[in-house]
Chain A
């Protein structure tokens, strides 16, 4: 993936297997968010290919990518503050509705049915994540931890097959991180595939089935958490090499 003269991702190739939790780590600037942006269609790849469920994602419009089953959370929370928590999730569940503006206007049965169904589903998701009681509060008024979890619930509302979590633990204290790890595993067990960017090493290692490490736009490791932890190249990327070791 090139931007003008800068190569952000250089031959980064990896697969995500169904119902696994794949951790994506690397020092700052390694290209992790770029990977997310490429997958969700924010950037069009300049070379190589990207496919999901057997179909190529190249040139596909972003909302269609979501319809195909990929949804994400954002590193800096991007909720729709003036809508309630429930409405935030509902907007995501709208992705798969068959009814639209015209049927909504005339109150056609299909619209009413889908609306009812999705409202229940949205509440269900909020409960699943543990913030069900906040359903009717405006998103901008929610506490930080609740907002982060709402981001996840919202992404899940789009019924994704692949859920991209962008630093979901940012700003959490250790207790909250433990809870989050459990939640992520719960999500996986419910049938979702998770791709996770995170800076907190212990969280990533504990929760991931597999870890991919990026550094300066290149993949330098792709293995189980244990092996990646011991990989000298990974250690070097994060900590550097001692000066006298050349």
Chain B
């Protein structure tokens, strides 16, 4: 990498000492939980909420809130990284893993290599199935032990914490399996198709 030009007089003013290997390049640690979304926050009552898995136009499985709550629940503690540069450490989420969703519809293997997450309000984001299996992705319904607030994607959001956080689509309503990759909302607007924070894949071509 080329030597970066020094910004005259610039110095770090950060108080906290976070191990360098913990925070991906270009990120800074925050204790807030900033909100980022393209439009108004949808308000969805759990009783009106459903979630589905879809393949080639037909449903593989569909759950209402009570049914979804009855699926095996998993709690994970993880760091999250937003493309707008903040990272938040040690966040705790509970929900149903992608693996358990597949099991619930009687599939031992994912039926296609890509997924499009469809969210309330038309937001979409695409993810390779390989990044959801083996505990890497879940549909989260609790944050720090409490229902997820609407502004943060409640009642349920996708959680794929090893990718930039826009991939963890808020207000998720269904996952659609795709034989070929397609680009989601931000991925069609100049953001990176995959979004690995460790490789700083923020924008197209990174």
A binds B: no
